[in-house]
Amino acid sequence: MVGVAHDERRLQVLRAIVQDYVSTNVPVGSKALAARHDLGVSSATIRNDMAVLEEEGYITQPHTSAGRVPTDKGYRFFVDRLSQVKPLSVAERRAIERFLDGALDLDDVLGRTVRLLAQLTRNVAVIQYPTLARSAVRHLEVVQLATNRLLVVLITDTGRVEQRVVEVPAVTDAPAGADPVAELRTLLNSAFVGAKLAEASVAVADLLETAPPHLRGLVAAVSATLVETLVEPGEDRLLIGGTANLTRGGALDFPGSLRPLLEALEEQVVVLRLMGEVAPSHVLVSIGEENEHEGLTGASLVSVGYGSVGGTGDLALGGLGVVGPTRMDYAGNMAAVRAVARYVGQLLAES
């Protein structure tokens, strides 16, 4: 898009096409465009602009003599030029509050959030559990399952609770009358409580040296498991809701059956990777072919981080978002996602 004067209008045309197509799901033609929006020009002019837009790859026609449909590139351009985020309606704000207030524990907050987002955007909603790596340890609990198996429960400051079973060597050289498990518990707690999990590995090294000899075996096994399974980013979990919304619009969106999409969602990892490094400050939009994973071409993801952590406020506890057809209401979804994330962030900060 070079030039000055006409480009402004072409952008308007593109915007109009996207809007119409999103709301009607029918390829939009020049005449209809001229009628529905009052750009000050005739359909013929619009036709010329459309030809240019098509040339440049922003729109395409499904077949000759049909209307135009935005391409992924078109949506991308449209989204990038979305200057102001349209504010949510009062009803929507109220719905958010009503839905989320009264949630007590973390599971509850996340569950409500995902239902809320799904309902608000009429799409699939996803929310990531607060990343362990960026959480701090609030408490560690150790329960003996069998002589050589311990259950370790980790409670973070965000209220997330994770448990792992650890196979441990038998304790042979304990002083008479000692309770190794209890000792291990106090030891672990004094070493880890308050520490960010990302920094756990250094604490582990310390601990291994200072621990009384008869506990070394236990400490080694437990902390190995902790570091390995908790700091690994792969262990992040995802909550998904509103998959029924995928069937809106019949088989029109997702023509090649929505099987690959459902598979990708169940895969979790795929979506997690996409949400990757979302920041609370800025909404990330990933459109159609931009998504590498096969199942997600044909779909778009609108996501944002929630719960700022650290001084700059640009690291998130986790991400939340919305998955839908590329033909989605980007403006609306971006607004909804952002508003909900902000509210969730507040909720988690309170507790």
Partner DNA sequence: ACCTGGCACTCGGACGAGGTGAGTGCCAAC
Partner DNA sequence: GTTGGCACTCACCTCGTCCGAGTGCCAGGT
Which stretches of the chain bind DNA, using CB under 7 A? 3, 5-6, 9, 26-32, 40-45, 47-48, 50-51, 54, 61, 63-68
Among a copy of itself, DNA, none, partner that 289 touches (CB below 5 to 8 angstroms by kind): none
Among DNA, a copy of itself, none, partner that 257 touches (CB below 5 to 8 angstroms by kind): a copy of itself
Q: Nearest approach, Cβ of 145 to a copy of itself (angstroms)?
A: 7
Which residues of the shown chain bind a copy of itself in the complex (CB under 8 A)? Answer: 104-105, 107, 138-139, 141, 143, 145-146, 149, 151, 153, 155, 159, 161, 163-165, 241-244, 246-248, 250-251, 257-260, 262-263, 266, 351
What's the token pair of residue 92?
């929507």
92 burial level (CB within 10 Å; 0-12, 13-18, 19+): middle
Among DNA, a copy of itself, none, partner that 44 touches (CB below 5 to 8 angstroms by kind): DNA
183 burial level (CB within 10 Å; 0-12, 13-18, 19+): buried
Among DNA, a copy of itself, none, partner that 172 touches (CB below 5 to 8 angstroms by kind): none
Beta-bridge partners for 128: 238
Q: Nearest approach, Cβ of 83 to DNA (angstroms)?
A: 23
* Structural contact between residues 180 and 214, judged by C-beta atoms closer than 8 angstroms: yes
* Structural contact between residues 303 and 279, judged by C-beta atoms closer than 8 angstroms: no
Q: Nearest approach, Cβ of 165 to a copy of itself (angstroms)?
A: 4
Among DNA, a copy of itself, none, partner that 32 touches (CB below 5 to 8 angstroms by kind): DNA
Q: How far apart are CA 200 and CA 229, in angstroms?
A: 12
Nearer to DNA, 47 or 214 (CB): 47
What's the token pair of residue 327?
């033909």
Among DNA, a copy of itself, none, partner that 161 touches (CB below 5 to 8 angstroms by kind): a copy of itself
Residues in CB range of 171: below 8 A, 6 or more apart: 180, 214, 215, 217, 218
Q: Nearest approach, Cβ of 19 to DNA (angstroms)?
A: 15
Q: Nearest approach, Cβ of 151 to a copy of itself (angstroms)?
A: 7
* Structural contact between residues 134 and 315, judged by C-beta atoms closer than 8 angstroms: yes
SS3 of 254, please? coil
Nearer to DNA, 55 or 350 (CB): 55
DSSP 322-341: EEEESSS-HHHHHHHHHHHH
Q: Nearest approach, Cβ of 69 to a copy of itself (angstroms)?
A: 23
